Structure 1
Amino acid sequence: MNKHRDTTGPTDDQQQITLRGPAELADALPYMMGYHPTDSIVMVALHGDRGRFGGRVRLGIPRSVREWSPVAEQLAECLVEGCERRGSRPDGIVVFVCQDPAEGETGRQVMERLRPLAQRLRTACGTLDVPVYEALCISDGRFWSYCCPDTRCCPPEGNPLAMPGTSVMAAAAAYAGIQVRGSLREMERPLRPWPHETAGSAGQVRALDAANAALVPRILGLEGRDVVCAETIRRAEELLRRLTESPRIADPVLADAQDDALIGDDEAAAVILGLQDRQTRDRAAEWMEGEEAAPALRLWRALARRCVGAYAEHSAAPLTLAGWVAWSTGDEPAARVALGIALEVDPEYVFARLLHQACNEGLDPESLRRCLREERDARTAAEARAASGAAAGPGTRTRTRGAGARVARTRAAGAGASGSSALRAAGRRTKRGPVRAHPGAMGDNRGSASRAAGPAEVSARARSRAARRGGGRGSRSGR
């Protein structure tokens, strides 16, 4: 089998290694994902006689056993149909179920408890005429095979995972510069809201309440919307400047605490509420590369942590921006995690769905970057003409033209948010055609069965929802 980091197949200059047996497959999983996928179902497609790794899907293990069957069916459909859209139906699939033991539970007990889930996944793949070559449970530092009956190689007590850094896979990953970032929980920590018991949570809720009462009526008004957009961008630029002037320290926990201390409750609340407007969010998406990218990523993560209490759904906007910046700068694992959480808090957030799908299907982010650059350049030119007395109309109201005829046509067709329109337009410039949005497909999304619906169902729902939002609905408009 070939090891590679993307979902579209290896290139000629990628190192080729062969994985033999369950032990090497279990060891390869965190290198395929970029982190240890705790509490997860992972399915990886295999292609050709040599079992080349292809597309992969990840979903959090549903808490309810009643969801296992529909989730298994939808994941199998997403993986197989996603591979077919890229031109190659998988010849086989490898299944992983990963979960740490609960208090008082052993790894073997976890394996037995999840056995029915693994069987449902195997059956769902078989229904689509794609065999499961191997199904592994990983828990408590050990792994078990659900497919191998030979106790000599797969004993009932399981086999220990390889020590970190000692396997062939680890050596190849180190040579290729691939890093494993720890567990999924560790990657999610800087994106999750502060706990209720945190000292600052109560003050942040009060600030969000006040900003909500002050800003939402203005956003709903046509004239006030443009003013709020400009105010939000100015506040965000000030926070970016502040973060840029405060270099990030090495320890990630202390670094996040440092960023939190640099942002006041009222400032965070005003920007969070302002980003609920699609026009403002799309302006903020332009901070995606160069020297702006790192402080922008810090800002969006910090704002996501401030969406406490009843404002958790408001984190979809900063989380999507964090995922976009991560993807734009080449950090696909971090992008998938951020976009997956955005879809967890708001499964209907269209821009996150489109970005998540595009990231996992290998769309080049440069296509979207180019559209956003064109919008920014056109807006700057329009503002300059307005300032010099030329008849160009209000500066921020001329932004549709800045994305070029492709984006204007997709918006006229009802694509919804302008960032989403740009992504759809960028998708048409690739061989794959338009990106279809379904949050459970081809990547890293946590949630229930409804969030991992099959491609045809969710794609149709996404298009209809985007069309309904085309006219805008105030503070949650366009998504």
Structure 2
Amino acid sequence: MTPSSTTDSQTADRSPIDLRDPGELLAATPHLLGFDPVDSLVLVGHRGTTGARIGNIVRADLPQPGDEAALARQLLGPLAHDSVAVTAVVVGGRRGDATGPPARTVVTAVREVFGQAGLPVSHALWVPKIRAGAPWRCYEQSCCAGHLPDPASTVMAAVSAHAGLVTHSSRAAMERQLQPVASDVLERRAAMLRRRLSAASRDDVASLRRGRAAVRTVLARAWKGTLLLSDTEVVELAVALAQPRIRDACLATALPADSAGAVTAERLWLLLTKHTPTPERAQPATLLAYSAYVRGEGALAGMALDAAQAADPNHLLSKLLRQALGHGLPPEKLVGLATSCDEEPIWTAPEDRTPPSPCSPHDSARPSTGPPAGDG
């Protein structure tokens, strides 16, 4: 089982949102993760000298009996990097003890494993589900209890929506965003790609200029609204991103994190991850992972890295990002990947309007002839 990991929450860091109240923290959990957790263990790291900042967040399915300590050891790595304390949250679980919340053995294992590593669990909370009015309570103090506010009406929800971030109904719903389009579409494009790549000289000046122009043109169009791509354009962008100098220049589109320009670029990388055949799919999937990582959405970053490595197991940049995510490296440590590129900016977003959110339902790709095809 691979846990979901969320890096340092950029939304929480940039806005003065008070999550000290347990109910508010629980209601914010779906927005921090990017999806609504079910039957999950969520560990929230706290950063800073006083632990007042939200740091890394990891989530995993509740373990089978006997696997609690192993899971705790697995989750320690991403949190040990810069957390000074941890809040443990159990969502769901079977009510085996009417006198207290379930999954107490999981919390006990986390306390023991993390305590041995010098990382205290400052608070442990249980809630049956993240819903308005759901009862919550602490594991240690029976008087520590309450009912959740509406997660969709909190300040955290408003800030997330304003930043263009999407909170999915489940982890599976988030993962479905990355599902490839129909196999016959991918096979057609793969054949086109083979012909195009066999005739291309990847490193000459003309190829670089053509590739940069293709990326810039589509990003400018994405900024304006609905993004439609023909087979030919998908292939042209795949050829462009296969050139390391262009791919590396595209990393800079993720900065500043959560900016309107970054949201636009992430929409394109997500679309291309769905519509590009393997092994070239690894390039947009890695750009999607980097964009999600630097804005603090580690769960989506991990899914995108899974897609990249499935498409090309030898893809170096996706391997490096996977190691960084596994060790809980803060997003600010990865900014240098984009700023160290010697290329001039491949695209700069205008500042006069806000684009659609990253997962606009209007995103689609279409064949060279005929009507637009759906994403499913």
TM-score interval, smaller chain:
0.5 to 0.7
Aligned match of 1:244: 220
Distance change (3 Å), C-alpha of 1:112 and 1:327: closer
Q: Which residue of 2 aligns with 1:252?
A: none
Matching residue of 1:162:
149
Cα distance between partner residues in 2 of 1:78 and 1:53: 16
Q: CA deviation at 1:125?
A: 1.2
Tell me the alpha carbon deviations over residues 130-170 of structure 1, each in whole angstroms, 9 at most, x when there is no partner. Answer: 332322344432355462362x655xxxx642124666xx3
In structure 1, what residue type is equivalent to 2:71? V
TM-score normalised by the chain length of structure 1: 0.51
Answer yes or no: is 1:147 the counterpart of 2:123.
no
> Structure 1 CA distance, aligned partners of 2:261 and 2:174?
23
Aligned partner of residue 363 in structure 1, secondary structure: helix
1:225-274: CA deviation from partner (whole Å, max 9, x where unpaired): 425x964873573364245346555xxxxxxxx53xx2123432453366
Larger Rg: 1
Is 1:94 the counterpart of 2:93? The answer is: no
Residue matched to 2:73: 73
For 1:76, give the aligned amino acid: L
From 180, 189, 192, the counterpart of 2:178:
192
- TM-superposed deviation, 1:317: 2.1
Instruction: Write the mapping of 1:28-427 to structure 2, written as runs, cut at 5 A.
Output: 28-30=28-30, 33=32, 35-39=34-38, 41-46=41-46, 51-61=51-61, 69-80=69-80, 82-83=81-82, 90=84, 92-98=85-91, 115-140=104-129, 141=131, 142=134, 144-145=136-137, 147-148=139-140, 150=142, 154=145, 160-164=147-151, 170=155, 181-183=166-168, 185=171, 188=174, 191-194=177-180, 201-211=182-192, 213-214=194-195, 224-226=201-203, 231=207, 234=210, 237-238=213-214, 240-242=216-218, 244-245=220-221, 249=225, 258-259=226-227, 262-269=228-235, 271-272=237-238, 275-276=241-242, 278-287=244-253, 293=262, 295-307=264-276, 311=278, 314-325=280-291, 332-334=295-297, 336-345=298-307, 346=309, 349-353=318-322, 356=325, 361-363=330-332, 367-372=336-341, 374-376=342-344
Task: Rate the CA distance shift 1:135–1:298 in 2: closer, same or farther, 3 A.
Answer: same
What is the Cα deviation at residue 302 of structure 1?
0.9
Instruction: Report the Cα offset of residue 25 of structure 1.
Output: 3.3
Residues 186, 239 of structure 1: CA spacing in aligned structure 2 closer, same or farther, 3 A cutoff?
Answer: farther
TM-score between the two structures when normalised by the length of structure 2: 0.63
Q: Which residue of 2 aligns with 1:466?
A: none
Query: Equivalents in 2 of 1:47, 1:124: separation in Å?
Result: 19
SS in 2 for 1:45: strand
Contact 2:128 2:135 in 1 (8 A): yes
Provide the aligned C-alpha RMSD in A: 4.9
More contact order relative to length (CA 8 Å, sep ≥ 6): 2
User: What amino acid is the match of 2:247?
Assistant: R
Task: Give the CA deviation at 1:50.
Answer: 6.1
Structure 2 counterpart SS, 1:162: coil
> Once the 2 structures are TM-superposed, how far is the Cα of residue 304 of structure 1 from its aligned partner?
0.7
Are the aligned partners of 2:68 and 2:106 in contact in 1 as well (CA < 8 Å)? yes
SS at match of 1:19: coil
Cα distance in 1 for residues equivalent to 2:65 and 2:224: 43
Aligned equivalents of 1:47, 1:247: Cα separation in 2:
35
C-alpha distance in structure 1 between counterparts of 2:164 and 2:128, whole Å: 21
Give 1:59 shift: 3.7
Identity of aligned residues (%): 19
Distance of aligned partners of 1:230 and 1:191 in 2 relative to their CA distance in 1, 3 Å threshold: farther
Conservation of the 8 A alpha-carbon contact between 2:223 and 2:264: no
Deviations 1:260-297 (A, max 9, x none): xx212343245336635534422443555699655533
Distance 1:297 1:133 in 2: 36
Structure 1 distance, partners of 2:47, 2:268, is 40
> Which residue number in structure 2 is paired with residue 389 of structure 1?
none
Query: In the TM superposition, what is the alpha-carbon distance from 1:67 to its structure 2 partner?
Result: 6.4
CA distance in 1, matches of 2:65, 2:265: 40
Return the offset for 1:192.
0.7
**Aligned-partner Cα distance in 2 for 1:191–1:370:** 28
- What's the CA shift string for 1:180-200, capped at 9, x where partnerless? 732364983684123xxxxx5
Which residue in the other structure is 1:402 paired with?
A: none
Greater share of helix residues, 1 or 2? 1
List runs of 5+ in structure 2 lacking aligned partners: 1-6, 347-376
| SS of corresponding position for 2:332 | coil
SS state of the match for residue 130, structure 1? coil
Count of residues in correspondence between the two structures: 321
